[in-house]
Amino acid sequence: MPLTQIRKVVTAIPGPRSVALMTRKARAVAPGVATTMPVFAVEAAGGIVRDADDNQLIDLGSGIAVTTVGVSAPRVVEAVAAQAAAFTHTCFMVTPYEAYVQVAEALNRLTPGRHEKRTVLFNSGAEAVENAVKIARTFTGKQAVVVFDHAYHGRTNLTMAMTAKSAPYKNGFGPFAPEVYRAPLSYPYRDGVTDGAAAARRAIDVIETQVRAENLAAVVIEPIQGEGGFIVPAPGFLAALADWCRANGVVFVADEVQSGLARTGAMYACEHEDVVPDLVVTAKGVADGLPLSAVTGRAEIMDAPKAGGLGGTYGGNPLACAAALATIATIEADGLIERAQKVGDVLRDRLERLAATDPRIGDVRGRGAMMAVELVGPDGAPDAALARAVAADCHARGVIVLTCGTYGNVLRLLPPLVIDDELLHDGLDVLEEALGGQP
């Protein structure tokens, strides 16, 4: 690995070069694009991001669950360079190329269920979610879409409507796409319902009274919520919803944009619950940072839109396809699903030991290398100020951590799976100190 895998803080964070770049950013870039840390990256490898002032930060965020196989993973770098030399673009809708077909074959093989499948490729998670809805609507001839409390599905017009949280994602950006309805999620820590089937009945009651199956094209759900707070539904919740969808002619869509591709210790998070979705949306972790997303699903559903109905100029760009094939090869050859389980064991063990002595950690949850703590006050109320302060202290000490949650009080950990144990523990030591240092 070109970068030594150690944390190194040699200036204040941000250092002078990053401060100067932030000043230029403020003049040149629209402020709507905010940054978690005011430092500029110049190089990254394994579990380390080096900034413009030569600080080496431990990466516990993977660029929001993207660089699962390690940023610039060797196979990816090689494959993308070779593809760039061969051709950067022809447009798959003009003169197709094999790599797109190979990615489709791979995702048809890797997504849950052994039925006949098809895949279509896009650029972003939001674009793929939109297309899953388009496909479900054409197939069913129905219009309504059900999503859940705390959901995050993206920033386009339809996916803003599907996303729950107003500020900053939706506030002032309306009007939003119609025919999107929200059902209660299973959130065991807050709703106290540990029986997933009972939580599903509560959601289904809302769906049946407020929407009705005869109007409903799709139920779209993140099997483990990402931005909403790494909420793992009670066991049986997803299966009961999927069963209800099947019995009622509704397409069950799993938005695995954040939870997919080995992150949770399974190729897809639905596998932990033996749930087979009709359509699966893949993005973030699939191409090590090159823009690629996909909808994969049952052939009879995917075959519904007519020729020309799906696509886009860049969808399934050859560089992104080369990166995806190399990413998948890396996951499979290097045993990264097992590694995600190991990383998850380390994270859970350390966070649970912390929680045992610190009542401000209300909940430790997640699966594999997608783990979070929910921070609360003495009365159990969300403590966003604490999450912000802990994250800021971690940043100052050279550890990249992200927050999330409807109330902003969740610290989430999404390390790259190639991070070595020593670096991971160093990052968690810093997190522990940062938490201990807060009144």
Ligand X SMILES: *Cc1c(COP(=O)(O)O)cnc(C)c1O
Contact residues: ligand X, CB under 6 A = 124-126, 129, 152-154, 222, 226-227, 255, 257-258, 283-284
CB of 174 to ligand X, least distance (A): 19
CB of 271 to ligand X, least distance (A): 17
d(CA 320, CA 288) in angstroms, rounded, equals 9
Residue with smaller CB distance to ligand X, 125 or 196 = 125
Residue with smaller CB distance to ligand X, 148 or 244 = 148
Residue with smaller CB distance to ligand X, 56 or 124 = 124
Pairing between β-strand 402-404 and β-strand 410-413 as defined by DSSP bridges: antiparallel
Residue 332, CA distances (Å) to 181, 230, 336 in order: 38, 25, 7
Pairing between β-strand 180-183 and β-strand 144-148 as defined by DSSP bridges: parallel
CB of 211 to ligand X, least distance (A): 21
CB of 219 to ligand X, least distance (A): 15
Residue with smaller CB distance to ligand X, 222 or 383 = 222
Return the CA Rg of the chain: 21
Residue with smaller CB distance to ligand X, 72 or 258 = 258
CB 270 within 8 A of CB 111: no
CB 280 within 8 A of CB 117: no
Question: What are 211's two structure tokens?
Answer: 């929407």
Q: What angle do CA 364, 365, 367 make, to 5 degrees?
A: 140
- Count CB neighbours of 121 within 10 A: 30
CB of 198 to ligand X, least distance (A): 25
> Which residue is at the shortest CB distance from ligand X?
125
Residue with smaller CB distance to ligand X, 256 or 383 = 256
CB of 123 to ligand X, least distance (A): 8
Work out the burial of residue 19: count CB atoms within 10 Å of its CB; fewer than 13 is exposed, 13-18 middle, 19 or more buried: middle
d(CA 1, CA 62) in angstroms, rounded, equals 17
CB of 289 to ligand X, least distance (A): 11
Residue whose C-alpha is closest to residue 402's, from 59, 7, 51: 59
Residue with smaller CB distance to ligand X, 111 or 258 = 258
